[in-house]
Each structure stands twice: as C-alpha cells, then as structure tokens.
Structure 1
Amino acid sequence: MSLAAQTRQLCLQPQRSTARLQQPAGGAARLAPPRRPQQHRLACAAQLTAEQQGCRTDIDWDSLGFGLQHVGETMWMATCSADGKQWSSGELLPYGPLPMYPSAQALNYGQAVFEGMKAQRSAKDRIVLFRPECNAQRMHEGALRLSMVPPPEELFIEAVTKTVEANAALVPPQGKGSLYLRPLLVGSGPILGLGPAPSYTLVVYCAAVGAYFKGGQLTPIDLIVETRFHRAAPGGMGGTKCAGNYSPVLVTQLAAKKEGYSDVVYLDAKTDTYLEEVSSCNIFVVKGKTIRTPPLQGTILPGVTRRSIIEMARSRGYTVEEVPVSVDEAMQADEIFTTGTAVVVSPVGSLTHQGERRQFGAPGEPTPVALELYEQLTGLQQEKLADPFGWIVPVC
C-alpha cells in the first residue's frame, strides 16, 4: 500500500481526530477535536462554493495568534523514490498523521527541509501568494544540501496552490492575518545505516495566523545578544532551512524570554564580533539613509522577505549594503529591524549586549524606516499598492 493510501486510511478511520491545539486557562496546550464543516473542502478552484470562497464565520479574526488553533483541514501530499525518476502526482487529503516507520531516515538522521509562506486576501478580492518560486528554489537548494530528491518547481507551486484553494475559507479577512503555509520535505523511507532515504514525502499543511510576536504586529521587540552559544559556523548548515537548525536555539531563546526579551541575536562563530541573525529571522541595521544587513556566506538563512526588503528599499532610495555588521555598529545605529515570513518586518525597540541596553525610538512605537518598509511590503502583498516587481501570484 502506498504512503498516500496509508495516510488516507489512517485519516478516515472513525476514531481519528484531526487535532487542533487549544490553550486552557493556566495550563499547557492540549489536543482537541476540530469543528467539522458541513462540506468537506477537498476541492479544486473550479469547484469552490461561494461559502468556501468567503471567510469562516466561527473564528474571531481579531484575536488570531501564531499557532495551530485554526489548522487547515486539508493537506497535500506526494511521494518520490530515491532515484528521483518519478514524483507522484500528489493529492489532497484530510489533515492527519503521516504513517512512518521508526526507521524513517528523517527520524534518525534528520533529512528534513521546510518552507514558510503566506496566502493573503487582497484588496482586489482575491487570494494571493508572495514570490512562491523563491520558496521553491530555496527548498530545492536545501534538499540538494541534504542529499534529498528536490521536488520540481511546478510540483511545489501546484502543491501550495491546491492547499490554499482547498482551505480558502481559512484565509482571514484582508488585514487581519494570513493563511500560513508549511511545505515540508522529509526522508520518509526506512533505513538503518547512514545514507539517503529510499523514499521522500512532500507535504503541505496550513493554519490561519496573526502576528508572530505576542505584542502584536509592529510592536517593537527587545533583543539580547547571545555571547555563549552560536547558531551556525562557516561550512555548516546555517544557510539551509532544515529542521535541525531550529531546536538548538531554543535553550537560549527560552532563557531570554524568561528575562523579558522577545528573542536572541547570534554572533559569528569566528570572532564573536558580527551580528548574524535572530533565532528565526534576519536582521537589518539603519544609519541615516544606509541600511546594512549581514551577508549570505553560508551561515545565514537567505530569507525571501530579506531579499524583498533589500530590493524594495533600494527602489525607495536607500543604500542597502550586505556587509558584516558589528555589535558596536548596531548599538550606535539609528534603528534596527528584523524580517521574515512570519514576523514580516518587526522594529527592534532595544538591543542589550553584555548588560548595556540601547533603546531605539520611542518606547512602544515603531521606528520610521521599519514602519515605512512594513507598510510598503504589506501594501504590495495585499494588493493595496501597485506591484512593480511582479511578486504577487493570484490563486483564486
């Protein structure tokens, strides 16, 4: 039986519960069964009903957080053998568990790369994606770095598009959030000795989300410079969006949050002098009309939002330099901001290094360059503003 058939069988069992995370008062997150719609959303764009094209009416769109409280009920999946000769055509399935042996390569040796993307409801009354070909390219490069079989770009785009179409009712009203998409490529085939997986699975699932940081979008965040641990080293995996890059940062991130900081900035592993990136986003430093950001040299994730902000800022008259940025330079900057698919553009309210704290802008207020670029980027993404770059891809 194929992996897709096994998944379908598991997902359609009567006792199956497609889980949503709920947060009880004063307790830890627990799994709870989702609301089941009157109609199943396994549909292509041509079959979408008027109800599915609208937004869900049972969700408080003004209180969205960043999590799985409103996970899409439909996911997309395809498989491929290690020889890479043929990817399956892919299909939509109910969101649910993946059948996988304990000996799956990804569970033992870590062959797993993923992407983060968003679909938004635009001012033109349609649902759009932002530069999906860039995500396809980054997954392709990451897969090659881990000796995986990368999905063709057209298959990746089809997977993302069909997932959005099938979960269109979970795309929030314009300006109230987005449908976060998680394409995931894993070495699902079983293996004992170290080597590439004998087969691979590409899955795309989604969830309706709001602001990434708890304070809300554009609320300045407080960062602390990490001086003990490093996120990545030259020649390593820091520039690849692979699963193994993220859990190691939790020990420092959680400690920082206990002290009241939003996140951690990491330094280069050679000299402990230059900024690299925050746990899950890129960083920019502003001085006058010059914006600087650390260069891509294999230790920093090549963010799609990072790339877009560089191009957009240059088109708006800023000088943007991809050069090493020292901690001392950052502490003397006019402002700092971070970028990423989840955070979009987030102004930094303060940076703390070895006990010294530098405040940027008025407390609680977004800094001017970050605000300008955020408004331009989100205006373009939501089709409130013209798209001179050709970045917007309509879905339905």
Structure 2
Amino acid sequence: MEYGAVLAAAPLVARPNWLLLSPPPLAPSIQIQNRLYSISSFPLKAGPVRACRALASNYTRQTSETVDLDWENLGFGIVQTDYMYIAKCGTDGNFSEGEMVPFGPIALSPSSGVLNYGQGLFEGLKAYKKTDGSILLFRPEENAERMRTGAERMCMPAPSVEQFIDAVKQTVLANKRWIPPTGKGSLYIRPLLMGSGAVLGLAPAPEYTFIIFVSPVGNYFKEGLAPINLIVEDKFHRATPGGTGGVKTIGNYASVLMAQKIAKEKGYSDVLYLDAVHKKYLEEVSSCNVFVVKDNVISTPAIKGTILPGITRKSIIDVALSKGFQVEERLVSVDELLDADEVFCTGTAVVVSPVGSITYQGKRVEYGHQGVGVVSQQLYTSLTSLQMGQTEDWMGWTVQLN
C-alpha cells in the first residue's frame, strides 16, 4: 500500500495539502515500511532487547527543518506527522528492537486484549525546541519508570527504561520538523503499550506492542494560561481504593468522559473529582493533579493509589520547595478548597493551569478576581523556562538531543 493510501485511511476532519505528501526520507540506516502496519507481521517470538540508539547523525533530513503550520493557532489536537515507532513483545517477555514506520493505521485482531479487556497503558511527555535549534526532553526516565509500574499492575511486560528513552529520542528526531518554534508550543509524545495478542477468555494477552507517535500541540485548555473554571463532581468518581486509579491505564480516562461532557455543556472547563469513600476529599481533575494555596502554604492530595503520580506534579513540588514554599501532601477537603487563596492544576498537557473558579453543589467561589495567582504564575514561569531551556537546568531534568 502506498503511503498516501495509508494516510487516506486515517480519519481527519480537514486535511491540509501538506498531509497528502509522503514523509521526507530518513537516513539509509533507518528502514521504513510503506504499507499498512500489521501487528502480526512481526515474528511472534521477540528477539533480545537491543537499544535503538537515536544519534542525531542518523536522522539527517532531506527537507526543510520546520513544517509550515499556523503555529499561532495550534491548539491541542492530533496532527499527522511523518513516522511512528513500533516494537513487539512475545511470550518470552522481551521486546524486539523497534523500527520506524510511516504514521498511519495499524491492524489489530478483534479479539486482542486491548480491545476486549482494556489491557493498555499510555504515557505523555513533550519535546521543546530551544532558540539555538537544539531539542530538549523533560524527564523521560520518569515516564519510563511509570509505564513499568503501570505495566506490572496490568499484568503486562514493559520495555526497559533504556529502550523507552531511546525509542522516544528516535521518534522525536525522526519527526523533528514538526517541533514548534520556541515559544509556540511543543511536540507532544504519546507512548502506548497494549495487549495486541488475541484472547477470548479473560487472561493476559499472549503478545504486546509498544508504539510511540507524536503531534505538535499548543495549549490544552483554550484559555491558555488564563484561569479555568471547574465544577466539583459528587456523583461520578474517577477511581476507588484498590483499583487502577494510580496507574495510567486507558480505562481510567474513558470513565471520566460522561462527567466531563456534562460539565462542558454547562460551560465549565473540566471536572474535579472527590474520593469515592468519604466524598469530601479532593482527588484530581480529569487529566491533571490539583493544588491549593492558603497563606503561602501549598497543599496537594497525597498519592495513595487512587491518584495518578503526575510527573509535572512531582516537578512542581520540587520547584516550590526550592523556592522556599512549604508543601504538604495530605488529605485536602473540599471545604479547604473553597477557602483557598489560589488553586491550580498540573499535568504534562496543561503544565500549570490556574483555576479561576470552583463550583460545588451550586456554590461558586472565585479566586484572584479571575486573574492568574502570584504563586501559580511564579511556579509556571520557573518550570516552563526550565523545560524550554530558557534558564539553567539546576535540577538536571532535561535531556538534550542535538
């Protein structure tokens, strides 16, 4: 199948002309398959793990450095890029050496573990372009470790930390022309781990596939850094004790769609969930962690199995401590939320998003006259300037690719 046909099979509401073009060639050392990718086309028995070394010299492009996009109005949505990474794991638990294939549809058995029983995980991280043209990743080893933790909970093998990081590097460099210019956004990186093998009875899949694709993105919320408006949900719950709320499994996100849909129809940006037992302690927003500020003390719900251990959450805590703030990880009640001086959310997609108002049981509380709070602004500036290489990385968190 020609690459143009592969793209035509993927749904897009509107397809700019540049999406109909074939991707630029990689260096000869990178083998590309111009066909519909079938999961079963790999040998069932995976070979030993061999790290995919993503040296910049292997990715000399024969095209312009940057795609011509409207970077000012990018938004947060899927843009089809050039290549994706795929590796496969058989029954021996070892992942094959991955390869780059053109971005496009994949073939899955209708009885695959991920489709029938939700045996899948994903991660999210970003690449940034510095003013000198070099590329930075932010804490990719944390995503690799979190995927391994989640895979253990979901009875799945996972790529090693080394293979995960090398695969991320390889995918970013293969798609580097899609990285937005400095200050215009980032390249969102989506690693996926799924049970691709066929099963009928309830059991772990016999084989697994690890995929990474990327998309240039702007702000997650349309408000950007402007404050968002949340509603506290006291009917639906995101997670329960003993469940999978603490890992990034795909089912955690489908379960919040109904509450999120209802909230957005009422004009709210997103939903803030309470614990399922007492129904009075904060957990998290649909796809990000939450912090409250009172008298310059920053508090956030403790990680106890029902809340995702966010990497941005962890980073914000460290940045806040380095700036002399007192940070508490503990149970935070909804009453404390309503009495807070500031509230903000953190996540890979949103980075830091200030909250302008909270509505709970019909009562609306506003923060900072709908402006960005002082603490939120300070932490946002400190973290984003570090992520984008605008200040010295005193934490040692960034990885430079070229």
TM-score normalized by the length of structure 1: 0.91
- Does 1:300 find its partner at 2:307? yes
1:348/1:19 CA distance change after superposition, 3 Å = farther
Cα deviation code 1:89-112 (max 9, x no counterpart): 100000111121111111111110
1:361 and 1:367 in contact (8 A); partners too:
yes
- Does 1:254 find its partner at 2:261? yes
- Does 1:326 find its partner at 2:333? yes
1:17 shift after superposition: 2.1
1:71 shift after superposition: 2.3
The one-letter amino acid of 1:265's match is L
Question: What are structure 1's unaligned runs of at least 5 residues?
Answer: 1-9, 25-29
1:73 shift after superposition: 1.5
The one-letter amino acid of 2:66's match is C
1:144 shift after superposition: 0.4
- Does 1:388 find its partner at 2:378? no
Cα deviation code 1:251-279 (max 9, x no counterpart): 01010001110000000011111010000
d(CA) in 2 for partners of 1:31 and 1:311?
Answer: 42
For the residue of structure 2 that corresponds to 1:246, the secondary structure is: helix
Match of 2:48 in 1: none
1:66/1:20 CA distance change after superposition, 3 Å = farther
Cα deviation code 1:148-205 (max 9, x no counterpart): 0011111101110000000000000001000000000000011111111110000000
1:21 shift after superposition: 6.1
1:395 shift after superposition: 1.4
Cα deviation code 1:304-342 (max 9, x no counterpart): 000000011000000000011101001000000000000
1:122 and 1:381 in contact (8 A); partners too:
no
1:78 and 1:89 in contact (8 A); partners too:
yes
1:318/1:163 CA distance change after superposition, 3 Å = same
- Does 1:233 find its partner at 2:244? no
The one-letter amino acid of 2:142's match is C
d(CA) in 1 for partners of 2:308 and 2:101?
Answer: 31
1:49 shift after superposition: 3.9
1:65 and 1:210 in contact (8 A); partners too:
yes
1:122 shift after superposition: 1.7
1:35 shift after superposition: 3.4
- Does 1:60 find its partner at 2:70? yes
The one-letter amino acid of 2:6's match is R
User: After the TM superposition, which residues 1-396 of structure 1 pair with which residues of structure 2 at under 5 Å, given as runs?
Assistant: 12=2, 15-17=5-7, 22-23=12-13, 34-37=19-22, 39-41=24-26, 45-49=56-60, 54-56=65-67, 58-68=68-78, 70-84=79-93, 86-215=94-223, 217-363=224-370, 365-396=371-402
d(CA) in 2 for partners of 1:116 and 1:32?
Answer: 28
1:41/1:35 CA distance change after superposition, 3 Å = farther
Cα deviation code 1:83-142 (max 9, x no counterpart): 31x311100000111121111111111110000010000244310100000000000000
For the residue of structure 2 that corresponds to 1:62, the secondary structure is: helix
1:92/1:38 CA distance change after superposition, 3 Å = closer
1:18 and 1:73 in contact (8 A); partners too:
no
1:219 shift after superposition: 1.0
d(CA) in 2 for partners of 1:307 and 1:52?
Answer: 38
d(CA) in 1 for partners of 2:240 and 2:88?
Answer: 33
The one-letter amino acid of 2:92's match is D
1:82 and 1:196 in contact (8 A); partners too:
no
d(CA) in 2 for partners of 1:282 and 1:315?
Answer: 20
1:238 and 1:245 in contact (8 A); partners too:
yes
What number of residue pairs does the alignment pair up?
A: 376
What RMSD, in angstroms, separates the aligned Cα atoms of the two structures? 1.9
The one-letter amino acid of 1:337's match is F
TM-score normalized by the length of structure 2: 0.89
d(CA) in 2 for partners of 1:32 and 1:239?
Answer: 42
Cα deviation code 1:15-64 (max 9, x no counterpart): 3225676556xxxxx899823157334766214446657322x2011110
Match of 1:7 in 2: none
d(CA) in 1 for partners of 2:60 and 2:166?
Answer: 20
1:221 and 1:348 in contact (8 A); partners too:
yes
Question: What are structure 2's unaligned runs of at least 5 residues?
Answer: 31-53
d(CA) in 2 for partners of 1:38 and 1:197?
Answer: 33
